[in-house]
């Protein structure tokens, strides 16, 4: 077998292969035996037709199968001889073969880049302060208070911004079918409302009836309303005002096992501090990784980038389905979404390649015990038994992916352990 290898880039190769006639003939005889065993030809019992008859009857099919067999086996053998591990399926070009002659073919494929890491020790990063100020605590308390707001019906009240009105809505499009929604809650002045609704609802009282038109913009998110004029009739049933609870001991007890507001404040401060530490840890890890990636530019195999991009788009589709949406009916510019996901996909692939190279350089591995601990932890988070999650991973070839992920996490841990991390004196905002 003759092999001619051309480097098109650090990750892209073109390989020309020539298979000698005798090797092709051996495969052709093996193929003919297979065809004779299976062929059904009138006038002959199955498996008893002469070779010449079988060859004449299935000449085209046999030539196609012969090329496929020889090319497939020879490509893998040639790649192995050259010390290459192709990524994805090769692009096959120029397969030529005449009986009694060598079979030749040419393929183009990608391989992993060779990475010699540099500059990954003593990376300097700044860890932001995890201090929780009194202002942070008060802001969190106010957010909690806002989350416990009650809507109170007040007879004779005229609606103001922030109130919620309960209305029946009848819509009559200039073109299309009328529609109706009963007892819809609408927050007066909400930014998500059309301006016409906010203008009409300010000052209304229970029992009011409103009639007004709405001209929907051509790019409105609901396609059945975009660019249309709709006449609305609203019947107001109730006007509710928001009522915030007092920030006192009773408020604290309503939130859980707290004796008073002091205890609630102490717990919130502790939780905020823990969150700040976690956020600071993540920020440091990302900053260290970003600097290592900058110090180690890599030519990325497009097959890996495309795979990551496809995975991200599939995640978007899955999330839509979980939320009860039909991906085919949701107004999404998939071309634009793909463009936006391209750079994050390239960065993710770059990070994986660099972390894998680091693991090899520093002999970073994971033990079976560590894999099992992660399975137990993930199973608990997912509400599954470890046995079921383990079986699912094995069935879908997930164990290798999980092990690779754990090695990359340990590699990132190593990068942080050798980084020069300075603490910031500034606040966290």
Per-10-residue mean pLDDT, the chain, length 429:
93 94 88 82 79 82 85 92 92 86 93 93 88 93 93 93 96 90 95 93 95 91 86 96 93 92 95 94 94 95 95 93 86 89 96 96 95 94 92 88 95 94 63
101: in domain? yes
286: in domain? yes
Residues 213 and 287 both lie in one domain: no
Query: Residue 245 in contact with residue 152, Cβ under 8 Å?
Result: no
Rounded distance, CA 4 to CA 263, Å?
75
Query: Residue 150 in contact with residue 256, Cβ under 8 Å?
Result: no
Residues 279 and 223 both lie in one domain: no
Rounded distance, CA 200 to CA 208, Å?
11
Bridge-partner residues for 105, per DSSP?
17
136: in domain? no
Residues 215 and 272 both lie in one domain: no
Bridge-partner residues for 181, per DSSP?
169
CATH of the domain at 229: 3.10.50.40
Domain range for residue 231? 150-243
174: in domain? yes
Residues 304 and 395 both lie in one domain: yes
pLDDT of residue 331: 79
Burial of 120 (C-beta count, 10 Å sphere; 0-12/13-18/19+): buried
122: in domain? no
- The residues near 17 (Cβ < 8 Å, ≥ 6 apart) are 1, 2, 3, 4, 74, 75, 78, 104, 105, 106, 107
402: in domain? yes
157: in domain? yes
Within a 10 A sphere around the Cβ of 66, how many other Cβ atoms? Answer: 19
Tokens 């966290």 appear where?
Answer: 428
418: in domain? yes
Residues 289 and 388 both lie in one domain: yes
pLDDT of residue 429: 34
In the listed set 215, 243, 271, which residue is the last one of a domain according to the structure? 243
């Amino acid at each position: 077998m003759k092999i001619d290898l051309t480097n098109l880039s650090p990750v892209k190769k073109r390989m020309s292969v020539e298979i000698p006639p005798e090797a092709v003939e051996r495969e052709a005889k093996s193929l003919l035996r297979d065809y004779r065993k299976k062929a059904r030809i009138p006038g002959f019992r199955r498996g008893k037709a002469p070779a010449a008859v079988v060859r004449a009857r299935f000449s085209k099919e046999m030539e196609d199968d012969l090329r496929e067999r020889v090319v497939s086996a020879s490509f893998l053998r040639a790649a192995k001889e050259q010390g290459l591990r192709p990524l994805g399926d090769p692009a096959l070009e120029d397969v030529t073969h005449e009986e009694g002659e060598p079979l030749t073919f040419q393929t183009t494929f990608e391989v992993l880049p060779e990475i010699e890491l540099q500059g990954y020790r003593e990376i300097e990063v700044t860890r932001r302060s995890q201090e929780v100020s009194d202002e942070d605590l008060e802001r969190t308390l106010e957010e909690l208070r806002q989350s416990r707001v009650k809507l109170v019906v007040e007879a004779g009240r005229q609606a103001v911004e922030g109130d919620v009105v309960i209305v029946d809505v009848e819509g009559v499009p200039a073109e299309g079918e009328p529609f109706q929604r009963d007892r819809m809650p609408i927050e007066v002045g909400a930014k998500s409302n059309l301006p016409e609704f906010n203008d009409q609802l300010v000052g209304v009282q229970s029992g009011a009836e409103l009639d007004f038109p709405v001209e929907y913009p051509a790019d409105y998110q609901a396609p059945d309303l975009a660019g249309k004029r709709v006449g609305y009739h609203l019947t107001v049933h109730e006007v509710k005002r928001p009522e915030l609870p007092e920030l006192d001991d009773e408020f604290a007890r309503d939130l859980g096992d707290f004796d008073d507001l002091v205890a609630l404040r102490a717990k919130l401060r502790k939780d905020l501090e823990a969150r700040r530490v976690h956020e600071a840890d993540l920020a440091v890890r990302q900053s260290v990784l970003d600097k290592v990636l900058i110090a180690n530019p890599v030519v990325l195999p497009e097959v890996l980038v495309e795979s990551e991009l496809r995975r991200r788009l599939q995640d978007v589709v899955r999330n839509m389905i979980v939320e009860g949406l039909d991906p085919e009916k949701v107004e999404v510019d998939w071309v634009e979404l793909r463009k936006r996901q391209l750079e994050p996909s390239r960065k993710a692939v770059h990070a994986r390649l660099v972390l894998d190279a680091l693991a090899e350089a520093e002999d970073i591995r994971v033990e079976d015990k560590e894999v099992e601990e992660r399975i137990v932890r993930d199973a608990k988070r997912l509400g599954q038994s470890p046995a079921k999650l383990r079986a699912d991973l094995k069935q879908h070839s997930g164990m290798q992916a999980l092990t690779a992920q754990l090695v990359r996490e340990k590699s990132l841990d190593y990068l942080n352990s050798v980084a020069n991390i300075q603490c910031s004196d500034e606040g966290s905002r």
